[in-house]
């Protein structure tokens, strides 16, 4: 019988933005040096004034991908204004590879922060932010995306979070525990601030973004993280991006990065 993650995880305890991390910190590598950070410089911290931060990653020289819920004030539900946000690419102990303001925010058209069904929001918890200037540094290389990801596959996450906000941390090997056509359930360790962090998988000789962290949850007694299945959802977000003002070549570049594998496969969670 077909069951979605929603029905299979009826006892799932979910908190957007994170629960206290329960897994061992030893699984995380702090990227302390330039050598540690090499290849990950396009992951950065998305700062919201003095009110907090999320994680985001460049997918073109002037567009970052993050979680939609990061762009809303948690207390009021209001959208955060672009001028109140700064992206710091490769931030490490007070110094970033680039500092950029935000020109435009585009949230997935199916996402509603006001929706009280927090689990239901995960599948569309995606947003694109256009930077006010491109990041042209030769060693800050945007990541390509790849939609197809299966249960049992090994992934990795690079993120900033509570108590590790000054430098990114990398979990090099966690697992897609299960999935349906909307949600990935991961064994990856996340915490406050990890929202929007890129989930990577290795394809050939490169890593590609397959999703972004949306929430922390508990399931069957273990700490898990949740992320959107991007098959079709990133296309919908890109289409929304192309319909908003200030187009130009940016939207075309985003589309080009995602023309890899958009085929979706039916996944049955038993």
User: What average pLDDT score do residues 38-63 get?
Assistant: 94
Q: What is the DSSP string of 158-214?
A: EEEETTEEEEEEEEEEEEEEEE-SSEEEE-----TT-TTPEEEEEETTEEEEEEEEE
Within a domain: 265: no
User: What average pLDDT score do residues 57-69 get?
Assistant: 97
Within a domain: 268: no
Residue numbers of the domain that contains 30: 5-257
Of 18-22, 98-102, 220-224, where does the model show the most confidence? 98-102
Q: What is the pLDDT of residue 13?
A: 54
Within a domain: 262: no
Q: Per the structure, how many domains does the chain have? A: 1
Within a domain: 128: yes
Instruction: Indicate if the pLDDT at residue 45 is higher than 80.
Output: yes
Within a domain: 269: no
Within a domain: 115: yes
User: What average pLDDT score do residues 215-220 get?
Assistant: 87
CB 163 within 8 A of CB 191: yes
Distance, CA of 262 to CA of 270 (rounded, Å): 24
Distance, CA of 131 to CA of 141 (rounded, Å): 15
Q: What is the pLDDT of residue 263?
A: 31
Q: What is the pLDDT of residue 23?
A: 39
Instruction: Indicate if the pLDDT at residue 77 is higher than 60.
Output: yes
- What's the mean pLDDT when you consider all of the chain? 83
Q: What is the pLDDT of residue 246?
A: 64
Within a domain: 121: yes
pLDDT tens string 79-105: 999 999 999 999 999 999 999 999 999
Instruction: Work out the pLDDT band at 137, boundaries 50, 70, 90.
Output: confident
CATH of the domain at 101: 2.40.10.120
User: What average pLDDT score do residues 66-89 get?
Assistant: 95
């Amino acid at each position: 019988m077909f069951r979605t993650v929603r029905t299979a995880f009826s006892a799932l305890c979910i908190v957007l933005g994170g629960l206290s991390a329960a897994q061992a910190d030893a699984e995380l590598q702090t990227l302390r040096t330039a050598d540690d950070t090499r290849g990950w410089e396009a992951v950065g911290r998305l700062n919201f004034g003095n009110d907090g931060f999320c994680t985001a990653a460049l997918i073109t020289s002037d567009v970052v991908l993050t979680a939609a819920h990061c762009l809303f004030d948690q207390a009021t539900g209001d959208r955060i204004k672009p001028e109140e946000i700064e992206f710091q690419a490769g931030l490490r102990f007070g110094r970033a590879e680039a500092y950029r303001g935000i020109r435009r925010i585009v949230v997935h058209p199916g996402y509603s922060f006001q929706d009280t069904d927090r689990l239901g929001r995960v599948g569309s918890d995606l947003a694109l932010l256009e930077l006010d200037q491109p990041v042209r540094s030769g060693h800050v290389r945007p990541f390509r995306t790849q939609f197809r990801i299966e249960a049992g596959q090994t992934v990795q996450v690079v993120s900033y979070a509570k108590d590790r906000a000054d430098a990114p941390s990398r979990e090099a090997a966690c697992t897609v525990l299960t999935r349906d056509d909307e949600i990935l359930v991961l064994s990856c360790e996340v915490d406050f601030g990890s929202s929007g962090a890129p989930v990577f998988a290795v394809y050939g000789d490169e890593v590609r973004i397959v999703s972004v962290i949306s929430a922390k949850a508990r399931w069957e007694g273990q700490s898990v993280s949740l992320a959107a299945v991007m098959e079709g959802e990133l296309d919908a977000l890109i289409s929304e991006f192309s319909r908003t003002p200030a187009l130009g070549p940016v939207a075309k570049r985003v589309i080009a990065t995602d023309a890899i594998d958009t085929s979706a496969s039916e996944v049955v969670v038993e």
